[in-house]
Every structure is written in C-alpha cells, then in structure tokens.
Amino acid sequence: MGAYFLRRLAIAAITVFGVAFVVFSAVRFLPGDTVDVLLQSAGYRDIETRHELEQALGIDRPLLVQFGSWVSDVVRGEFGQSLITQRSIGGDLGSALPVTLELGLLSVAFATVIGVPVGVLSAVKQHSMLDYVMRSTSIVFLSIPNFLLATIIIVFGSVWFNWSPPLRYTPIQDDPIANLEQFLLPAFLLGLTASAGLMRFTRTAVLEVIRQDFVRTARAKGLAEYVTVTRHVLRNAMLPVLTVIGIYLALIVGGSIIFEQIFQLPGIGRYFFNAVAKRDYPGIQAVALIYASIVVIVNLGTDMLYAWSDPRIRYR
C-alpha cells in the first residue's frame, strides 16, 4: 500500500506541475496583454512607461525565470496580486473558493440523493416498465443542457411568479437561510444533470454484482429480496459508485463557471471567467492551479479508496 501510494503521489505531483507549466506558458500567448489593457485605461502611451510597467510587473524577464519565481511563491502560499485590481489573489480566492465548494457539495448531494436510489431500483427491476421509463428519463436529463433549464426557470419564474434570483450574494455566516435559498436552485439544476449520469452508472454497477454467484446463493438459501439487495448487492456495488461521486464533485466544481455566471455567485469560476476576460495572468494561473489540484486530489483519493478495498489493484 505504501509503495503504491508513493507512486500515485509522485504522478499526482508531476501532473500538478505540468498543469502549472502549461497554464503559465499558455497565458503568455494571450493576445492583447495586460500591459496594453493597463496602459489604455491609464492613458499613457509612450514606450518608457511601458518598460517601467513591464519591469514593475516582472514580465520583462525570461519565461523560465518568471516560472521559477512563481512556483517558489506558490509553494510558500503566495499567489501574488492581481495585475488589474492590485488585490491579493490569495485573499480573493480564499473568499471565492467556499462559494464554489458549497455549490459543488450541494449539487453532489442532490445528484446522490436522486441518482443512486433510482439507479439501484432500476437495476433491481431490470427490463421492467419502471426500468425503461427511468432509463429514458435519464437520457432526457442528460440531453437538456442545465443552463437552458436555468434560463427557462429565470425567465418564466419572473413572468409567472414574479420571482427572480437574488442579485447579491449572501455569505453563509451572515444569514444561513438566505444563503441556502440562493444556492438551492443552481445546486439542484447542476445536481439533476449529474444525477442522470450517476443513475446510469449505479444501475450498471448494481447489475454487474447482481449477476454474480454469491447473489444467487443468497437467493437460493431463501433470503428475502430486500435483504439480498441491501446486505449483499449494495455492499459490493457501492464502492465504484462512491468513487464516481467523487469524480462528479471534481467535474461540478470545475464546470460551475456557467452557473456562477447565471446566478451571480462570486465563486472561483466567476473569478476565472473575469481573469480570462481581462488577461489577468496571475489570476488565471492561480485558479487553473486550484482547479487542477482539486481534480488531482479527488483522483488520488478515489485511487486510494480502490486500492485499499481491492488489493489486486496495488500489485498491477
């Protein structure tokens, strides 16, 4: 287990480093660089101001030198400051990250509560009308984009019920009820799409177990179907489902950009969107690094969970 863990950890570290380098080089190819944006807003145009500014921002040095100093800053927990707002990126992201995580966790909770039971039911009643209806419904929910649903709800909510989502974000420590109300709809819609995928995965996982010999034995010795399913089938089928739930969390956290835009939630997705729009290098780098770290950590966690429960994996 130890050796396996170390190997996975090394690969995870390489991946994060790779992401950091790719993003770092990529943002420097963005057309219309920050200096131009800053100069235009300040009204300076001459070449000397430009050089001064570049020097002050530290973007006149060679790429590798810049990368090295950025990495050493990040390792010490310093994300630097935004080129546009001059605010500390670490501080801004510190307040944005909880928003995105709350949205992600709530969505995954919705997805799990809807997707897993329906998936189990669908598998247990395989080939029944119920199974067929649920499977068809899941493809429908996979096909209707959730941003379309969100827009429809916002538009018709205001037409029919005179309701529209709040424009200002309420932090959870100020007013937990208002905060939850604000998150409920976006989290539900994000979770709905994820639940469709999760339902299909759960169904397959349960079907794989339900065909095995020990389930037949359990049935043969006269166990009630309910007991067979809960004690024998689910216990074996839930592990892959659990890991997929982890992967969905990473997917939703990374895919929440649209929903943070629609529902005006100041999470890291919105921060990233604005940073890309304004060519704010340090901001883009920091958020991309955080995203990648979340994905890599979740993957590492699910790998470990698998290896811990199934020793065969460790020795591949």
Partner 1 sequence: MTAAAQFETQLVRKRQSFWGGIGRALVRNHPFEFFISGVVIVVIFGLAILAPWIEPAAPEFQDARAVLESPSFDHPFGTDNIGRDVFSRVVHGARISLRVGFASVAIGITIATVVGAISGYFGGWVDMLLQRVVDTMMAFPSLVLILLVVAMFGNEERFVILAISIFIIAAPSRVVRAEVLSVKERQYIEAAQSVGCSNLRILGQHILPNIVHVIIVIASINIAGAILVEASLSFLGLGIPAPAPSWGNMISGQNTFWLRQAPWMLLFPGLALSLTVYAFNMMGDALRDVLDPRLRER
Applying CB under 8 A, the residues found at the interface with partner 1 are 11, 14-16, 18-19, 22-23, 26-27, 29-31, 139-140, 142-145, 147-148, 150-152, 154-156, 158-159, 200-201, 203-204, 250-251, 253-255, 257-258, 261-262, 272-273, 276, 279, 284, 287-288, 291-292, 295-296
Check residue 272 and give left, alpha or beta (phi > 0: left; psi -120 to 50: alpha). Answer: alpha
C-alpha 191 chain-centroid distance: 12
Work out the number of other CB atoms within 10 angstroms of the CB of residue 156.
11
CB of 175: closest distance to partner 1 in angstroms? 26
3-class DSSP state of 88: strand
- Determine the Cα–Cα distance for residues 87 and 72; give it in Å rounded to an integer: 20
CB of 98: closest distance to partner 1 in angstroms? 18
Closer residue to partner 1 in complex, CB, 218/253: 253
CB of 239: closest distance to partner 1 in angstroms? 15
Place of tokens 């810049």: 66
CB of 68: closest distance to partner 1 in angstroms? 19
CB of 151: closest distance to partner 1 in angstroms? 5
- Report residue 243 as tokens: 């890991």
Closer residue to partner 1 in complex, CB, 183/281: 281
Nearest to 275 by CA among 91, 71, 93, 72: 93
CB of 143: closest distance to partner 1 in angstroms? 4
Closer residue to partner 1 in complex, CB, 59/172: 59
Closer residue to partner 1 in complex, CB, 102/218: 102
Measure Cα distances from 182 to 35, 187, 227, 249, 273 in Å. 37, 9, 40, 19, 21
Closer residue to partner 1 in complex, CB, 170/204: 204
Closer residue to partner 1 in complex, CB, 30/64: 30
- Determine the Cα–Cα distance for residues 185 and 164; give it in Å rounded to an integer: 11
Phi, psi dihedrals of residue 269, rounded to the nearest 5°? -65, -45
**Sign, CA torsion 287/290/296/299:** negative
